[in-house]
Each structure stands twice: as structure tokens, then as C-alpha cells.
Amino acid sequence: MLINDQLTTFIAVAESKSFNKAASQLFISAPGVIKQINALEKNIHVSLFNRTHSGVTLTPAGESFYQDAKKLVAAYTQSINHAQNLAEEKQVVKIGVGPLATGVGINNLWLEISQKYPNINFQFIPCSCALGSFNEFLAGINSEFDLVSSVYDVNLLRAYSLTATELDLTPLKISVPIQNPLSNKKRLSLDDLKGQTIALSPRGEFSCFDRVRDLLEKEPTITIKNINGFDIPVLNSCVENNWLLCSAEDWQTAHPMLKTQNVDWDFTAPFGLVYGETHRQVVNQIVDFVNSNH
């Protein structure tokens, strides 16, 4: 039995001067009231009531304890209300976003979470790179923003003390400058890639892109161009130089002059929420929602 319940029962008995009346007020049985009072007296080693056939009265110790008990219950109630008010306050969660950390699906996810938890406000923080070297992107987690949605690599997560909750396996595709004739094809074959320059992140940064590189390096007519990220300047360079870009499924909106095409391969990359191994409690709330609903 919680001590607060015993105090509430004690106050009711003291003010009504009756176990039965207190029981009626508290919607419990008279024996239940007597049991709580007996437990309270046993806990504090003090007799609080004089019991008679006509009712109960407070002992001198009970009178003193009654005044303090009212203050204790009021303080307890105030503490509970304060804690609940804090829990209901708006919590700002900062989401790192970039041209490649977007997509209709993930935007809908933020909407779903905000509808489920109206106490969470999302603030979107631009980050210049969402892939590639990950330097600025990874450094921003837990300093500039709380989490990000992105393709990720397990080795990089480990190196930067990050973790991720997978949302999907996103197919890897080829983004083609619209001036390139390949942009008119619905699907690209490996033969279509012959003679082209294809931009990739350096070997060792992303295992998914390394697997693509292993395949492309078997064709001597394909030139591989190492890039240090996937931000807008890099996308502009692909358009200006007519380079193809190995990309993920939702990146077709990243640059208006690049068209993302399916390719005859089965390469994928994990996509999900990336956040620090040490993080704010509200991030757990988001992750729990994702695990329960996706």
C-alpha cells in the first residue's frame, strides 16, 4: 500500500471522525479503511486515533500528524502535477535534412509521429551531405541535430558511435543527366553502362557502393569517378560533366536535371533513422513508434 494512500485515508477518517464515513467518501470498505490506518500506525509507531463505540477522535500525536499529513499530501499532489505538466510540454526534436535525406515516405513518417505525439515538435536542420564521407553529417548528430533519415553503413555507424533503426532496404539505381540519351530508357542494362563515367563514393566508405564498384570494375570501358559526397555541388558536377551517379531510390528529387533509372542488378542499401548511441529520451519514443508501426 502506498504511503500516500494511507495518508489520504488517515485525513478522511480524521475529518469525518468515522471509519464508515471515510470508507463511503473513498469508495472502499470500512475494513479496508481500518486496515490502512492500522498499517500507518504500525509504520510510524504512533497511535493516531482514540477508538470508541461512538466514533474515533485524534490523539494529541494524531492532531499533530494530521496537520503535517495535509501538507505532505498537498506537496505530493503538486509534485505529480508538475511532473505531468513537464511531460506534456513540447519537446523539440531536431532532424538533419539534406537533398538525399528526404522522400515522401519519410516525410509521412514525421507527420504520423507528430499526430501520435502532439508534444513533439520537429525542427528540420539543413546538413550539406547525407552520404559520401559523412564527415559533416555524422559530426552533426547529437550536436546540431538529434537524428537523420538516410542510407547508412554499419562500419561507419560503429566508427562514429552511432546506431540506426532500419526502415527499409532501398534499391540502388543510376541517376542520369537528362541530356544523356540513357535518360530516355525505362530501365538500364549493364551493357548500357559501357563507355560511361559513373560517380561513386571512395572504396571503403559504403559496403553497398563497394559491391557496385566490384561489378563495374569488371568492365574496362567504364570509368569510375570518386566523389567526396552527394551534396548539390557534386550533383551539379555530374550534370555538367555528363557523369552517371550511383544513387538510391528516393534521390530522383535531389536535382531537377538528373533522372533516376532502374538498373538490371539487385544492389540495395539499408535506409533508416540514424542517431547517437547516447541520445535523448524523446528519441526512444520515436524509435519505439517506428518499431511498432513500420
Of 54, 53, 17, the closest CA to residue 37 belongs to 17
Average per-residue pLDDT for the chain: 85
Return the H-helix or E-strand segment holding 262. Answer: strand 258-263
For the chain, the domains span 3-88, 91-287
Tens digit of each residue's pLDDT (9 = 90 or more) over 46-59: 999 999 888 899 99
Residues in the chain: 294
Is 294 or 277 the better-scoring residue by pLDDT? 277
Tens digit of each residue's pLDDT (9 = 90 or more) over 256-275: 899 999 999 999 988 889 99
Please check whether residue 94 is in contact with residue 115, taking contact to mean a CB–CB distance below 8 angstroms.
no
Please check whether residue 270 is in contact with residue 146, taking contact to mean a CB–CB distance below 8 angstroms.
no
Tens digit of each residue's pLDDT (9 = 90 or more) over 146-171: 988 887 888 778 878 899 999 888 88
| Grid cell for residue 221 | 570501358
Return the H-helix or E-strand segment holding 96. Answer: strand 91-97
CATH number for the region 3-88 comes to 1.10.10.10
CA gap 157, 153 in Å, rounded? 6
Please check whether residue 131 is in contact with residue 99, taking contact to mean a CB–CB distance below 8 angstroms.
no
| Grid cell for residue 272 | 533508416
* Cα→Cα distances 21→55, 86, 139, 189, Å: 10, 36, 65, 85
CA gap 188, 260 in Å, rounded? 10
pLDDT attached to residue 136: 62
Please check whether residue 17 is in contact with residue 56, taking contact to mean a CB–CB distance below 8 angstroms.
yes
Architecture of domain 91-287 in this structure:
3-Layer(aba) Sandwich (3.40)
**Model confidence at 91, in pLDDT bands (50, 70, 90)?**
confident
Amino acid at 137: F
> Range with the lowest mean pLDDT among 117-121, 227-231, 240-244?
227-231
Q: State pTM to two decimals.
A: 0.59
pLDDT attached to residue 248: 79
| Grid cell for residue 175 | 541517376
- Radius of gyration over every alpha carbon of the chain, rounded to an integer in angstroms: 32
Please check whether residue 12 is in contact with residue 48, taking contact to mean a CB–CB distance below 8 angstroms.
no
Question: Does residue 120 surpass a pLDDT of 70?
Answer: yes
Neighbour count for residue 232 (Cβ, 10 Å): 15
Tens digit of each residue's pLDDT (9 = 90 or more) over 182-213: 999 989 999 999 999 999 988 887 888 999 99
CA gap 69, 58 in Å, rounded? 13
